[in-house]
Chain A
């Protein structure tokens, strides 16, 4: 038997005398937590299923397209990609972005209110503006990542296969990436703002997601109906098509044929841009109004 003796010391409470990052540290913490939360990281397994499935749907086609393009190029080096380019791919990811917002925005905002966590934020070095900006920033950063990644993959992959060589293709196609970023911003703001607005006032995450999808799809149906009726001012109803405005911007940016209701009703694409901006501004104002007495 050992003759060594030991002692247990209660170190008790130790004051913290290290660095304090203040407001910027708080904002960074909210962004990091928001990104983890919407992706289900450090949460129960069931919280990971929905976001990672959508991310897979957004990213995997690009991997397959680039892989197949490489495979086909071994048979015909000069063949065009049979899968379309960035414009078509953005059309696919636009739908995924909307579905992602449907659940991620309520998860970010409603959970904090429902579980009373806003009380914790209210005793930390931040304002209501900081909270809103950081939560929206987290959401937008995640969406931007999974929209940009496949497009970058395609940009690099197709450039590597280009007959003019990688370097000249990268330079020559750089404009496409600019268009991707513009379109992505339209999707993020156009689909994200209504999702945040609904989540700011809804009480439960499930119904909030349902309301958001109903409004997005319903507004498109509503706009299509207004496009076909024939009375004075009816065409303005097509501007309520929240689903179609980012699509209008995408077609505008990539110079594609426009088929959305607002365009068919005679509006120029900038009208869609204006609606997106107005909804975003309204969202910011109403969010601050909602949170200013709690933070």
Chain B
């Protein structure tokens, strides 16, 4: 079995009296991982623990099977990090800084310059690579920050709020870039409170709320509800009654029926009832929920 990309066992961290993370137990497989939660949920603290910047108050954490508290350099040889805030020296050119970022990861100087050029081209900054970073727009700075995070070809990259401050077009471009990282063989941990961004770019999600894990699993599994939504053109009451009589669990929402069943496949049940009812069907399909619905429904801090 493949080793988890990230793992935490009884992980806790406190800033003085304030407990930021409470006894986290996690195992996350390699891939594109979303770390979601409201501001103050503990996302950045968890990333700092994964990078070995902070040491756990209790418990342990592992990145690619290595505990940063025990072997910091080994972990840092394999990671990249795009922080939430600025991390760019304004009086340095993009090419110089990204090349320096590669050298800091141990890539020899000559190869660093080549890597910097290639990566800046990949993130769409080829033409601007000799401009000073202080002259860059917000979107260009975000791309330069992503470039420094991946220039040394890390095995896993932590992206902390990568779309913060971007306009809609810039956000789209950044999400496209993040989506492509998985194809390059780089595992990605995207921390964000913008849940649609996570749904779009990730295949696994860890939800944090108040320093605790709310959900941890594949996104497809989390958003599937097992409910069939049937929308009719006329009054659905008779169909709903028949579905109930045959053992279905039914909710009515206007002309729509939400059907679930423990004993039958709800699609088969719906098909059989609709075939004999004579009503006009407008639409029928699985009802999926969004991460936002799940988060808002389950987070105690939202109550």
CB–CB A120/B101 < 8 A: yes
Distance in Å: Cβ of A9 to nearest Cβ of chain B: 13
Interface residues on B, range: 35 or more
Q: A12-B122, A33-B100, A293-B53 are in contact. Are A119 and B107 (CB under 8 A)?
A: no
Q: A43-B91, A117-B88, A123-B79 are in contact. Are A21 and B108 (CB under 8 A)?
A: yes
Interface residues on A, range: 35 or more
Q: Which of A15, A20, A115 is B89 in contact with, Cβ under 8 Å?
A: A115
Looking across the interface, which residue of chain A has its beta carbon closest to that of B158? A123
Interface stretch of the complex, out of A24-32, A91-99, A272-280: A24-32
Q: How far is the CA of A29 from the CA of B295 in the complex (A)?
A: 44
Interface stretch of the complex, out of B148-156, B164-172, B214-222, B235-243: B148-156
In the complex, B83 has a CB within 8 A of chain A = yes
CB–CB B80/A123 < 8 A: yes
CB–CB B132/A26 < 8 A: no
- Taking CB atoms, residues of chain B closer than 8 Å to A32 are 103
Contact with A along B168-197 (1 / 0, CB 8 A): 000000000000100111000000000000
CB–CB B106/A22 < 8 A: yes
Q: Which of B51, B101, B118 is A122 in contact with, Cβ under 8 Å?
A: B51
Distance in Å: Cβ of B162 to nearest Cβ of chain A: 13
In the complex, B258 has a CB within 8 A of chain A = no
CB–CB A125/B105 < 8 A: yes
Distance in Å: Cβ of A174 to nearest Cβ of chain B: 36
In the complex, A6 has a CB within 8 A of chain B = no
CB–CB A126/B76 < 8 A: yes
In the complex, A111 has a CB within 8 A of chain B = yes
CB–CB B106/A26 < 8 A: yes
- Taking CB atoms, residues of chain B closer than 8 Å to A124 are 76, 101, 104-105
In the complex, A295 has a CB within 8 A of chain B = yes
Contact with B along A202-241 (1 / 0, CB 8 A): 0000000000000000000000000000000000000000
Q: How far is the CA of A20 from the CA of B152 in the complex (A)?
A: 9
Q: How far is the CA of A26 from the CA of B72 in the complex (A)?
A: 14
In the complex, B77 has a CB within 8 A of chain A = yes
In the complex, B85 has a CB within 8 A of chain A = yes
CB–CB A29/B81 < 8 A: no
In the complex, A88 has a CB within 8 A of chain B = no
Looking across the interface, which residue of chain B has its beta carbon closest to that of A292? B53
- Taking CB atoms, residues of chain B closer than 8 Å to A293 are 53-54
Q: Which of B105, B183, B185 is A20 in contact with, Cβ under 8 Å?
A: B105
In the complex, B87 has a CB within 8 A of chain A = yes
Contact with A along B77-118 (1 / 0, CB 8 A): 101110101111111110010001101111111010001001
Distance in Å: Cβ of B97 to nearest Cβ of chain A: 9
- Taking CB atoms, residues of chain A closer than 8 Å to B80 are 123
CB–CB A125/B93 < 8 A: no
In the complex, A81 has a CB within 8 A of chain B = no
Q: How far is the CA of A20 from the CA of B90 in the complex (A)?
A: 27
Q: How far is the CA of A120 from the CA of B79 in the complex (A)?
A: 11
Q: A33-B100, A123-B79, A123-B149 are in contact. Are A21 and B106 (CB under 8 A)?
A: yes
Looking across the interface, which residue of chain B has its beta carbon closest to that of A43? B91
CB–CB B106/A42 < 8 A: no
CB–CB B92/A43 < 8 A: yes
CB under 8 Å from chain A, chain B span 24-82:
48, 51, 53-54, 72-73, 76-77, 79-81
Counting chain A CB atoms within 10 Å of each CB, the highest count among B48, B100, B105, B115 belongs to B105
Ordered by A's residue number, 15 sampled pairs between the chains whose C-beta atoms are within 8 Å are A13-B122, A18-B108, A23-B106, A26-B104, A26-B105, A29-B100, A42-B96, A116-B87, A117-B88, A119-B87, A122-B51, A122-B81, A125-B76, A125-B77, A127-B72
